[in-house]
Amino acid sequence: MTPTMTALELLDDIDDPFDPRPSVDIAAATAAARDLLAALGADLDAPGVAETPARLAAAYSELLTPRPFKLTTFPNDEGYDELVLARGIPFSSLCEHHVLPFVGVAHVGYIPGDRILGLSKLARIVELFARRLQVQERMTVQIADWLEEQLQPKGVGVVLEAEHLCMSIRGVRLPGSRTTTSAVHGLLRDDGRSRQEFFALTTG
Ligand code: ZN
């Protein structure tokens, strides 16, 4: 697989721009953050806290804004038909119920059809769906569906493992517990050998 990966990486920067950024009103977010913190009993006159509402607004804006990237697919001229897998892509997202982070890794793989994707783009696709209010199950399915739609591969599989701060530092308080979710399509769902290979490489 290594020579293929290198060729793909070299081709990575030749595409159409794709800009998923939402519109953000930082001034309104800063005012709202000030109100929220005050309502929660924070002393906004304490030393060091004067700029906190602005910092909070900026931090959440960053966590909710994926970086734009160039969407890159290529014809699969060499007819590569084995699993292409990016393991351990780190991500952080925000749970839509508590707006607290969930943090973990994504394993994203596909068996190419007629189109292939620059490998570094798999990480950017994870970021595209992580940097919004999310639930882990939906994010897993969105990444798989997106790849299915864009590449029409013979198979696609996504596994996410994450620790949810809303479970580990509040609520049930289970630090270190991780949640695993998966979504598989095509051969990675229906073909026993491909499915087994994918899950052997991504779990356990
Ligand atoms: Zn939550």
pLDDT in tens, 64-100: 999 888 877 899 999 999 999 999 999 999 999 999 9
Question: Quick count: other Cβ atoms within 10 Å of Cβ 119?
Answer: 21
Task: State pTM to two decimals.
Answer: 0.87
Answer yes or no: are the C-beta atoms of 102 and 162 closer than 8 Å: yes
CA of residue 95 to ligand 1 center, whole Å: 5
Strand duo 84-95 + 133-134: pairing: parallel
Please, is 161 exposed, middle or buried when counting C-beta atoms within 10 Å of its C-beta (0-12, 13-18, 19+)?
Answer: middle
- Range in 64-78, 100-114, 131-145, 175-189 the model is least confident about: 64-78
- What integer pLDDT is reported at residue 7 of this predicted model? 35
Percent above pLDDT 70 for the chain: 91
Can you tell me the mean pLDDT for 142-169?
A: 95
| pLDDT band at residue 21 under the 50/70/90 scheme | confident
Check whether domain 73-202 has CATH 3.40.50.920, yes or no: no
Q: Point out the residues that are catalytic.
A: 95-98, 136, 164, 166
Domain ranges of the chain: 26-63, 73-202
CA of residue 100 to ligand 1 center, whole Å: 6
Compute the Cα dihedral for 126, 131, 136, 141 and give only its sign: negative
CA of residue 193 to ligand 1 center, whole Å: 36
CA of residue 198 to ligand 1 center, whole Å: 29
